[in-house]
A and B are shown apart, each in its own frame.
Chain A
Amino acid sequence: MKTTMADWEEVKKLAADFQRVQLSSTKQKLSERNVIEIVTKLIELGSIEVIYTVDGKEYITPYELRKEIKEELLVHGGRINLVELTQILNVDFNHVESKANELVHQEQNLSIVLGQLIDKSYMDMLAEEVNDNLQEKGHVTIPELTKQYDLPADFLSRNLHSRLGTIIEGHIDSYDKDIIYTDAFITRMKAQIRGALSAVTRPVLVGTFVQLYKFQERIFFNILEELVNTKVLAGSISGRLDKATYIPHIYTKSQNEWVDNFFRQNGYLEYDALKRLGITDPKDFIKKRFKGEQLLFLSTCCTGHTILDQIEVSVEEALNDGSWVDIMPLLPSVFSNKDANTLLAGCLKNHSNAIICCETIVASDKLISECSKPFPDLMAIKAEKDAKSHPVFKSGFESELNSKSDTSTAGNTKEDKKDQRRKKAAAGSGSTKSGGGTQGREIKTKSVKKKGYKGRDVEVDSDEETMVAKPKSRSTEIEFMNIEEIENIIRKNKALEDCPDELVTEIAQQLIRPLTKQYQEVAKSIFLQTSGLSSSKRKKTQVELQDKLIGLWTNARLFEKGLKLFEDDTETVLTRHLLRTVCSDITNLVLNAIAADHMVSVEDEAQLTIESRAKLIAKIPGDSNVLLTKLNSSLNGKSLEDFFNTLDILCGPAHLGILLKKPDKKKERQLTFSHRQTLCDQITAEIDPAMTLHLACVILFQKFTQCILHVPGKCVPQVVMFLKPHLEPDSFKELVHLQDLVIAELQRQQSGGDAEEKDIPILEDTINKVKAVAMTTKKSILNSNSSGADAVEM
């Protein structure tokens, strides 16, 4: 019971306690929520201004923030990063920044740089530090400080410059505001530079110098300039900044001395040598250095007059001696061939009688002519040999000769059957022989020959191109000797005994062209000589041409007279024949002459057909062209008049200037007589029946009509008919008989049968009879009709 009571007491006590607790006043405490609410309300109402801390646990008034910022700045020695401030003050960066800006605006001694708040006192301290550094090292640069203090250059320099002379004892480089230095430093550097550069004896690159001594580049250049300008340093600077070179006067002096000495001693200056001495532009240098001197600038060096004189003398000597000189040994070894050549070209301006070989060798014209001396003899020998053996000559010259020389005799050196034929044909054209027939055949044989010739070439060369090219080139140019041959001969010359091979080759090359030309001349003249024409005669082409032309023309005129005795048909045939033969020859002659005047080459005079002539005429300019065309086309016509008229104009003074004089009676008679004489000579020697008949007819015709006749083989029967009334029947019968035999013979030849044995004696007999008829009739006619002729002959 006791315990229960006690318990109850206890309960009572507790209840009282409980009441007491419940009644005790509640602590007057604002909950966080409330406070926040209150403050927010206050801020809303604008009655207070606070800044929240970052964690939101604290409010801070702007003034407090300002105070704290200043305190922190002080604590941090006058420089503090705003970000750092933010962390320290636990306030948002924006507030700190704006407050800091406000501070900077309000207080002069503060500034914000790179997000750092910096006090003036800090800058003073920094300046002091810099000054210490400066005094120690002699110079400081803003970039260095920038790195060291992590501040922008312009801010640093602005602040430092304002403290120059107060806190910092030093100067700013007037060119480079970034460098601050002390007087002592400058003096020291000046002394260093002076010492170093005074010791220099050859050009040095200033840049390496600066690196070597670790000079402040900018100041170095200033000092250097100053030193050079005030002549403390004997030298000069060339180039700019890094590339600048300091050239001490002593070096320039010794360089100049060397150049002078070298030039004085040797008479030349090599550019390379000058370059080795460090002269960058030798030519300029030399020009400046030796203004007064007459210098010759070559590709590798430049020479004074000493060497020039020397060379001139030796060249002159060589020229006077008629020998040669290689100037290379006379020149210093540095001279290149090109230089030597240039030198020589200069020297030889005054000497026309010399040539330069192999760039450096001078040979006198005398030497060359000396060298060419042995050639004419050789040439003559070779030409003669070639004229006989070389086929090119024939095709090259002979045709030309043939047409030109209607008087040429058959007794020349060429034993060629073809040539003989040709000759005969040419003679025939002038001597009323069977020219037409033979000529036609001739062309054929010739072409066959040519083919054969070509074929031979193919066999030899088996090369199509050369086959075509060879005959052509040979016909235009005949080689005399090749270079090696000429060289061999030249080398025999005593003057050239120890000369280099090149010179010989060069001389040979010089000679080969004129020699070839000369040789061609010689060969031609020799050929002409061998063909019975003197080379001197050839040169008088005009006279010769005139003679030939007049001869042919006269013949043509005479033939014309003879053919008029025939009836129309025969006359036409004969006229045409005359145009084809003699008149063609005349045309060729005229064309050749005019072509030669116009420097147009005629390939082969005798081979000209109407077409080839037309082609040739096209190449000739002027009105000759028209006339020649006309003349050429008149050959195709039937009228001799056209031809003669055109020919007259062409031969007039405007063109060829040849006077076609009509022969007087006496001359005419003389010609006729000589013509007949030739014919008679021919007939006596003739054995061919057809030819005999032909000749006999012509002779007889002349006897009866006093006119000479030019007749083609096919017209012989008409002539025979014409002769009938004039001849004694027996004689006529003989003629007819021979004619029949000839026809039979021809027919047999055509059908391919062999000549019958028994016919030969008959044929021979008839030939002899016809010959006799021709000759005897001549006598009788001569006797009865010769009064005029005799008179003429007397």
Chain B
Amino acid sequence: MVDEATKRSLAQIPLLKTKAGPRDGEIWVGRLKEEYQSLIKYVQNNKEADNDWFRLESNKEGTRWFGKCWYIHELLKYEFDVEFDIPVTYPTTAPEIALPELDGKTAKMYRGGKICMTDHFKPLWARNVPKFGIAHAMALGLGPWLAVEIPDLIEKGIVTHKDNTAGAGE
């Protein structure tokens, strides 16, 4: 099950209404609008709670999203690139968020750096079509994944802080 904090933040994200994929033309625009509004709210919420943890932007059509996400562990900030495409069957199919940097570094990942969602994610998403959007996918999918995997990876020494590796370069 999802943890309390996640649940709370999830609840504060506005739900979407339009069920449309990128191929649906006119309606997709509506959907995209809703996506943006929901994302804005989510980010605002995160900032309010001093819990800002990602930056996202999309292409013009809103079908491909990319940006950064970060995790603070032991007073150090670990930053990773994040990217994903909106599937054609969206929103029935959830987007597959990928962290290409970490590809091959952990078992909880598919090829191409796509993260493995928790067992709960898919049924939860399926139940909530079309109410869940990108913001929800981020809060419900990537957020928990980072919280679990990053400390583990750091401990294993698989992920190191950039300052330590290429600190002088920055």
Contact = CB atoms under 8 A, between A and B. Distances in A.
Interface stretch (A21-29, A526-534, A659-667): A21-29
Given A11-B62, A17-B40, A27 B33 contact: no
A5 to B, nearest CB: 10
B57 A19 contact: yes
B29 A22 contact: no
A15 B58 contact: yes
Contacts of B62: 11, 15
Contact of A22 (B30, B32, B43): B43
Interface string A26-53: 1101110000000000000000000000
A71 interface: no
Contact of A15 (B48, B49, B52, B57): B57
A11 B36 contact: yes
Given A21-B44, A22-B43, A15 B26 contact: no
A18 interface: yes
Interface string B22-50: 00011001101100110110011001111
A740 interface: no
A334 interface: no
B43 A21 contact: yes
Nearest to A5: B29
Nearest to A10: B33
Given A15-B57, A21-B43, A22-B55, A31 B36 contact: no
A447 interface: no
A4 interface: yes
Contact of B29 (A4, A24, A29, A30): A4
A31 B29 CA distance: 38
A3 B33 CA distance: 14
Q: Identify whether the interface residues of B are mostly helix, strand, loop, or mixed.
A: helix
Contacts of A27: 47-48, 50
A221 B39 CA distance: 97
Interface residues of A, number: 20
Interface in A264-315: none
Nearest to A6: B29
A15 B36 contact: yes
A14 interface: yes
B56 interface: yes
Contacts of B52: 22, 26
Contacts of A21: 40, 43-44, 47
Interface of B: 25-26, 29-30, 32-33, 36-37, 39-40, 43-44, 47-50, 52, 55-58, 62
Given A4-B26, A7-B26, A18-B40, 20 more contacts: A4-B25, A7-B29, A8-B29, A10-B29, A14-B32, A14-B33, A14-B36, A14-B37, A15-B36, A15-B62, A17-B36, A18-B39, A18-B43, A21-B40, A21-B47, A22-B52, A22-B56, A23-B55, A27-B48, A30-B50
Interface of A: 3-4, 7-8, 10-11, 14-15, 17-19, 21-24, 26-27, 29-31
25 contacts: A3-B26, A4-B25, A4-B26, A4-B29, A7-B33, A11-B29, A11-B32, A11-B33, A14-B33, A14-B40, A15-B57, A17-B40, A18-B36, A18-B39, A18-B43, A19-B57, A22-B56, A26-B47, A26-B50, A26-B52, A27-B47, A27-B50, A29-B50, A31-B49, A31-B50
